[in-house]
């Protein structure tokens, strides 16, 4: 049978099996389509010539994962945080521990069903994504300070910001996975990008950002009326029959834009660890879900970890180097990568504690504001 007819017949079979397959790589020309049995819990795998690609082996574990995540989020917003309130340090630490525990429990499930290699990939990816998400916290602090967001409303902004981030991250991961499957050489572009970004982060000082000058925010304010002040925890209000956005919704847009910017770094970083879309996606989701509680835990002391940005820069450069060496005799394994990343981040935090940033004194020898 000619290759074209064989491929078409295979596509018809794929269509009939669509409940078991989410996204797959299509053959270009002379791709031989054949089926082979995979893991019992993972359904079937489609192989094209010498390699195979499946976005998600079985869609039902993914459905179950999302159902669980949204149940937890519903409990978070509808029960534990039903009313707007100032999140205390104790509450934020408890929720941080909850999300980390859930991530590690999920990691045990990955180990049980997919083996130790996949579990190590998830753990390494989670550590990378969670550590890189700390950079978001610096921006969140700046945004909430700049717009003078009342502390009791910050939780709602971050909650809905994270819901939007889940959708955008999923889209970017699917796009990245398809690109890698179609153009394997793009891994080298990702690797070079991460190395350059990491080096820039090493030498970049603290930047002053004016959110009001963001072109998207300026465009939004031109087409949508925005109230001059906050209206409680509402994103939208109707005044004189006209629907107005509140400044809280403007901040939500900025939070979403911030996540997109940082995702450009973090998603290629985890593809350096694994190209398994399920591992990439779930580790990203757990890292993002834990970001909100981590913000409230660290917001007041994040500036004290002044060497953390250096640690994050070194981490990005290392991960980029790992990606560049992925198909050479000098390939870096998952375990050495995990040890190196944890060591870099731990050293940056310890250095920040041992060598605190010196605060310039005023003329009379007192600290500013005293």
Q: CB 158: neighbour CB atoms within 10 A?
A: 23
Beta strands in the chain (DSSP E): 33-37, 44-48, 51-52, 236-239, 242-245
Sequential pLDDT tens for the chain (370 residues): 554 444 444 444 433 443 343 344 444 333 333 333 333 333 334 333 334 444 555 677 777 788 888 887 777 666 666 666 677 778 888 888 988 999 999 999 999 988 889 999 999 999 988 888 777 787 788 788 888 888 888 888 888 888 888 888 888 888 887 787 777 788 888 888 888 888 887 877 655 556 666 677 788 888 888 887 888 888 888 888 889 888 889 888 888 887 787 777 778 888 888 888 888 888 988 988 888 888 887 776 777 787 888 888 888 888 888 888 877 888 888 888 889 888 988 898 899 888 887 765 444 444 334 3
The Cβ-side half-sphere exposure at 251, using a 13 Å CA radius, reads: 29
Residue 284 near residue 267 (C-beta atoms within 8 A):
yes
Host H or E run for residue 250:
helix 247-271
Tell me the Ramachandran region of residue 240: left when phi exceeds 0, alpha when psi lies from -120 to 50, beta otherwise: left
Residue 201 structure tokens:
């982060």
Tell me if residue 226 falls in helix, strand or coil: strand
């Amino acid at each position: 049978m000619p290759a074209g007819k064989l491929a078409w017949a295979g596509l018809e079979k794929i269509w009939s099996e669509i409940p078991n397959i989410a996204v797959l790589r299509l053959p270009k020309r002379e791709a031989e389509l054949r089926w082979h049995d995979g893991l019992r819990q993972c359904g079937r795998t489609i192989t094209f010539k010498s390699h195979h690609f499946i976005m998600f082996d079985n869609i039902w574990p993914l459905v179950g994962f999302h159902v669980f995540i949204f149940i937890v989020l519903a409990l978070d917003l509808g029960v534990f945080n039903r009313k707007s309130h100032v999140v205390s340090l104790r509450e934020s630490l408890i929720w941080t521990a909850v999300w980390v525990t859930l991530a590690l429990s999920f990691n045990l499930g990955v180990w049980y069903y997919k083996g130790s290699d996949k579990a190590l990939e998830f753990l390494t990816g989670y550590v990378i994504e969670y550590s890189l998400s700390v950079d978001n916290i610096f921006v969140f602090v700046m945004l909430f300070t700049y717009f003078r967001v009342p502390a009791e409303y910050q939780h709602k902004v971050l909650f809905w910001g994270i819901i939007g981030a889940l959708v955008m991250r999923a889209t970017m991961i699917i796009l990245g996975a398809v690109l890698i499957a179609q153009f394997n050489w793009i891994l080298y572009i990702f690797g070079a990008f991460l190395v350059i970004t990491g080096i820039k982060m090493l030498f970049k000082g603290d930047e002053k950002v004016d959110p009001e000058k963001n072109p998207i925010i300026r465009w939004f304010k031109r087409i949508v009326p925005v109230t001059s002040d906050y209206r409680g925890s509402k994103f939208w209000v109707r005044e004189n029959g006209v629907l107005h956005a509140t400044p809280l919704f403007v901040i939500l847009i900025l939070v979403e834009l911030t996540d997109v910017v940082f995702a450009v770094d973090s998603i290629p970083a985890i593809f350096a660890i694994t190209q398994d879309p399920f591992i990439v996606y779930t580790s990203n989701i757990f890292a993002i879900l834990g970001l909100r509680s981590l913000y409230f835990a660290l917001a007041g002391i994040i500036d004290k970890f002044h060497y953390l940005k250096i640690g994050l820069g070194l981490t990005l450069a290392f991960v980029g180097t790992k990606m560049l060496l992925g198909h050479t005799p000098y390939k870096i394994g998952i375990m050495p990568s995990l040890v190196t990343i944890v060591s870099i981040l731990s050293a940056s935090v310890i250095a920040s504690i041992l060598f605190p940033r010196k605060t310039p004194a005023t003329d009379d020898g007192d600290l500013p504001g005293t």
